[in-house]
Structure 1
Amino acid sequence: MSSVTPLEHTAIGGVAGFTETCIMQPTIAIKNALQEGRPIPRSPMTLYRGLAVNSAATFPITATQFGVNRLLESLHQQHLGYNPTGISTIGIALSAGASSAFIGCPAEFLMIQQQKSGLSLATQLKSVAGSFGAATMMRESLYTAGYLGVAPLLKAKLTGHSAFEGTPGAALVVSGVSAGILATLTSHPADTIKTRMQAHPDNTAFPHYSSVASTARHIVATEGYGGFFAGVLPRTFRLIGAVFILTGIRGTLVDAIEDARYAGSKAASQ
């Protein structure tokens, strides 16, 4: 198992999450607009509205996912005597994603309200309160299971397959796209419910968005089950990109730390 510590993985996750958000923010704005039934933003300024709070929030969210994932991997190896594989890897990633929901939910609520209102961050901070944790926890768990669980497992499986011999990078591409699509399809209904609830926080004016269950019932009654997948195309594009960005930065920085550590220990022994 990697010698990189949970704390170091936490720092790597923060950098990776911040970078991914800055690159993929327009897809988030388009997805939110489609889920809420608002016109799709056209100008770059509108597409990047809410970037400050979203990137600031994503830093600790992804840091938590990376750090908790590495910590649980270490505990698994320490207590069971072998590295996690298969279902264990996905289960650990699910738990890491769930842990990050406590950070992400309030921040995403603020971002969505800012995208709708066009208010400054300082003004919007004064006007919002509350969180919608259940749907966010479900979404983050499934999303994290995709990029920290399914993607590396699938890549390892495909790398050793004869069909991918002589095609460097093919296993990475196929595993990344597959994990991104799977993460989107499994987590998107929860994301739609979360977005609707956060976009309509006034339970008096919008009683059908007062809970996860009532929101789900309202979507089915008014739009059918297809309503759960509003905005799925931009989010699919975003998550596929996120898988490559997050796992790419993770692999690069982990290798750099391990190489530096090995070089340091080799120099010390001479």
Structure 2
Amino acid sequence: MKFEGTESYVATEDLTVSVNAAVALERPLLVKGEPGTGKTELARQVSAALGLPMIEWHIKSTTRAQQGLYEYDAVSRLRDSQLGDERVHDVANYIKPGKLWEAFSAERRVVLLIDEIDKADIEFPNDLLQELDRMEFHVYETGETVRAIHRPIVIITSNNEKELPDAFLRRCFFHFIRFPDLETLKQIVEVHHPGIKPELLTTALTQFYEIRDQPGLKKKPSTSEVLDWLKLLLAEDLSPEDLKRDGANALPKLHGALLKNEQDVHLFERLAFMARRER
């Protein structure tokens, strides 16, 4: 069972090595990187490439680790007891399995995505240590122990918004998705926009990397944003000449696809203003 990328996902050699190492070690794969570099998509592509079902758990700031195991609906049980419902005599009727329970009880091996774990409270990763390590947990209301029938492939993503506990990191295999170099990005573009004219692609990507390297930029445009930008360029049928910038017009064409806050737009407007004054 080896992951080597897919036709719709360009995986670098170090990324495929990391995925296969995590699978071999039976450790969660912790993937970090800039937003928009394909961390979430990686899990979906691993699922597709290995022919395994996928379970996605998208983490929010209010998500608790317990929700991944199960939730006990005490309110519904109280209401049913007041109504004389027979279901009230079996507490299992009020236990709602979480995503980890689904993954552990699946009849075949699955890929479990825990997406953007750094959005949750700092204690969230620690609260899952034992469950991810032992691949089991106890349901106190019913007295049963839920054990993984087949150990899932666990992929955990993080945007590096906050540090994760050392105890949690120790149990993971780690990979940082670096921003792709020019040749890798060209391969990614070819997957999403096949047949794009080489002159347009070279001009656009050269300008894109110049924008990313601009000092003072608050948010660097990501892989997903350059793909959106190229889609717009193709829709508008722009030529390489249309993309050329001079000092008086520092903002790129259709810059709303690349620059996502007013500070960065103002930065390029100031660069244009300074260039005009120097003339």
Q: Could you state the TM-score of these two structures normalised by the residue count of structure 1?
A: 0.26
Pair member with larger Rg:
2
More strand by share: 2
More helix by share: 1
